[in-house]
Homo-oligomer: A and B are copies of this chain.
Amino acid sequence: MGEFELLARIRERLPQPGPRVRLGSGDDAAVAVPGGATATSVDALLDGVHFRREWSSPAQIGAKALAVALSDLAAMGAEPGEAYVVLGVPTDLDEDGCMELLDGLAAIAAETGTTLAGGDVTRAPVLTLAVTVVGHAPGPERFVTRAGARPGDALVVTGELGGAAAGLQLLGSAKGSRSSFVPHSHTKDERTASLIARQLEPRPRLAAGRALAKAGATAMIDLSDGLGGDAGHIAEASGAGLRIDAAPLPIAPGVAEIAQTTGRDALQLAVSGGEDYELLAALPPECLEAATTDVEKQSGIALTRIGEVVAGEGVEIRRPGGGLLEPTGFDQLG
């Protein structure tokens, strides 16, 4: 199958473009009419680096590629708009595999209101995806960067932490191929399945990000590297210090058991394990109540206060009993 045939088959399956897109895939470029300001981010995912084909179905891989790209838009408080997808196809992924991958990608696009507006398909030695996403806001000042955290701001995190890292531990310990260990189908243990889904099927917190932006977030980042590391990015960009209490950290159910089994510290896993794709935000304490209500209402996701912004620099994460946790250092993919 040639590139043109594959592109034609892909185009047939694309959902209708959104209102901003005037010309979709199939010309030299896609044409859009943005309504103010755009936020653009690009993410690459490669087999063996960011995912493993023996752990993930093509649909999961396509879905994850778009989800992690959109997670950056969530962290800006942007409304998702268009996605442009580079697909590098190895010889051992057939046309049906490509279509399954695209269906996974298209499902996330439909779920989030994103238009797949263009792309490029090429041969590649390993399955390679590069996804560019464009998000929108009425004006540039409406986006939330990493740089606006001020001393006195409260620190909040969405959802639950440590699940993706625990899921990775489970996948790694299974050491099996997809046929012997089928994480994307039913398993007896729902909690195990849920942790593995946190690793293989992340979802961008777009509604929560927009609610946080509207509620007055001064800085925001998505947790791809891990809470400690990503908190460091906010601290550096904002020229402030971040003090985090480990006691209230919303650790995903099952993480403690996995940590125990593998001889790890559950808190350490929640703090330095990556790929949860939750949001960490700073906001004035007086905005906290409204933010919590709005995030819950818009996204069904809980917001947890985990610390505060202080004058100074760096990230300090206090253990419940005293002492400090290492902000980074847990193994992860990518």
On whether A120 and B37 interact (CB within 8 A), knowing A29-B78, A128-B128, A237-B27, the answer reads no
Query: Residues of B contacting A139 with CB < 8 Å?
Result: 33
A89 to chain B, nearest CB (A): 11
Q: Is the CB of A125 closer than 8 A to any CB of chain B?
A: yes
Query: Residues of B contacting A132 with CB < 8 Å?
Result: 40, 42, 84, 132
A90 to chain B, nearest CB (A): 10
A143 to B23, CA, bound (A): 10
Contact: A128 with B118, CB < 8 Å? no
Contact: B29 with A119, CB < 8 Å? no
In-complex Cβ contact of A125 among B31, B38, B125, B220 (8 A): B125
Interface range, A side: 35 or more
On whether A31 and B39 interact (CB within 8 A), knowing A86-B86, A122-B49, the answer reads yes
Contact: B31 with A34, CB < 8 Å? no
Query: Residues of B contacting A216 with CB < 8 Å?
Result: none
Contact: A31 with B42, CB < 8 Å? no
A61 to B38, CA, bound (A): 29
Q: Is the CB of A266 closer than 8 A to any CB of chain B?
A: no
Chain A residues numbered 169-190 whose CB sits less than 8 Å from any CB in chain B: none
A319 to B36, CA, bound (A): 51
Q: Is the CB of A46 closer than 8 A to any CB of chain B?
A: yes
On whether A32 and B37 interact (CB within 8 A), knowing A122-B49, A122-B50, A130-B130, the answer reads yes
Residues of A within 8 A of B (CB): 22-23, 26-34, 36-44, 46, 48-50, 72-73, 75-76, 78, 82, 84-86, 88, 117-120, 122-126, 128, 130, 132, 134-135, 139-140, 143, 145-147, 220-222, 237, 334
Query: Which 7 A-B pairs give the minimum distances between C-beta atoms?
Result: A130-B130, A29-B39, A29-B41, A28-B75, A132-B132, A28-B72, A44-B86
